[in-house]
Amino acid sequence: MFLPNGSIELEMIGVVGDNVYYNFTSSISGRHNITLGCKDVVGNTNTTSSYINVTDSIYPIINITYPRNTTYNINVSNLNYTITELYPDSCWYSRNRGITNSSRVTAGINFTNVTSIEGSNNWTVYCNDTSNNINSTTITFHKDTVYPVLNIISPIASNYYSTDILFNISSTDTYGISNRWYNINNGLNVTFDGDELLSFSSDGSFYTVFWVNDTANNVISANVTFTKSNPPNSYGSGAADDYYEYVADLFANYTSNITFNDTIEDLEEKIQLEIESYKKEQVYEWSQSLLRFVHTRGMVILISLGFLAVFFLFFILFKKEKEKSKHLNT
């Protein structure tokens, strides 16, 4: 009679003095009690007891199913895993490789309300079995829920007379910008590097949306509406006289420091300085029109200045003669 933990009873027949063997195997770890009894032909019996220890040396197999080794642009708070083990006991996790650990749960129960941080995260799941064989696995993932910063530098919400309009934006992100693009009047999306000069051949209103995204695909947008038109009564419209009057009015605003010795290049330089100072007052396009006028009508300006010089010379001479005559009379 052979009884390991009272679970198995066997009858083994042998001759007195012979050795009888039985191989006992078990996957259950721990102590196993064995009782051996003998009986003779007349029914006399005797027993003896002993025990053996069965050791489980197989470690649990753990696989983290969420999160994965990737970048998330959402908050990650669940930690899911699977465990392969015949005799599982409990599991727990750590967010700092075992320096501090969570409370234990029954093996196989997932974790919720886990705190993740912006940037790199290292989460480790530990599990043991009933023989206290402990195994672990770690996952590293990146969390980026912060949107990029986007500012439109140009165009601004204004009217432009120039056909060439600069599209310029500034965009920053802690982990880097991935793409920049824009859309005009709900048309096609156009990818660009953040700085591009566009040509507008037609007048009208242009609703423009700019987008940028970061490496985690956090997308942010900003929009601006601007208009483009020709200068009032612009040259080539058939109203040349009105155009000259228009440009002359502009020119009068910039001639306070012009001298008779100024060349065309001097005029351009002075007007360009005025253009720079007036950019912030949104008259950049008017100044550009004025600069183009100087290029194409420079001779007219010089002739006009020549007449003014002659008039000024005659005025000085007349004044000197008058003073000389007054002096003689006295």
Query: Would you give per-residue pLDDT tens digits along the chain (330 residues)?
Result: 444 555 555 555 555 555 555 555 555 666 567 676 666 666 677 777 776 666 688 999 999 999 999 999 999 999 999 999 999 999 999 999 999 999 999 999 999 999 999 999 999 999 999 999 999 999 999 999 999 999 999 999 999 999 999 999 999 999 999 999 999 999 999 999 999 999 999 999 999 999 999 999 999 999 999 999 987 654 444 444 444 454 555 555 555 455 555 565 666 665 665 555 444 444 455 555 555 555 555 555 555 666 566 566 656 666 666 666 665 555
Count the alpha carbons within 13 Å of 5 in the hemisphere toward its beta carbon: 12
Report the top-level CATH class of 61-143. mainly beta
pTM: 0.57
Q: How is domain 149-228 classified at the CATH fold level? A: Immunoglobulin-like (2.60.40)
- What is the per-residue pLDDT for 2? 47
- 85 vs 124: CA distance, rounded Å: 18
- What is the per-residue pLDDT for 304? 62
Which residue spans of the chain are classified as CATH 2.60.40.10?
Answer: 61-143, 149-228
- 96 vs 78: CA distance, rounded Å: 16
DSSP assignment, residue 111?
B
CA distances from 164 to 201, 203, 284, 294 (A): 9, 12, 12, 19
- What is the per-residue pLDDT for 231? 74
CA distances from 61 to 87, 136, 166 (A): 12, 8, 60
Task: Phi first, then psi: give them for residue 27, nearest 5 degrees.
Answer: -95, -5
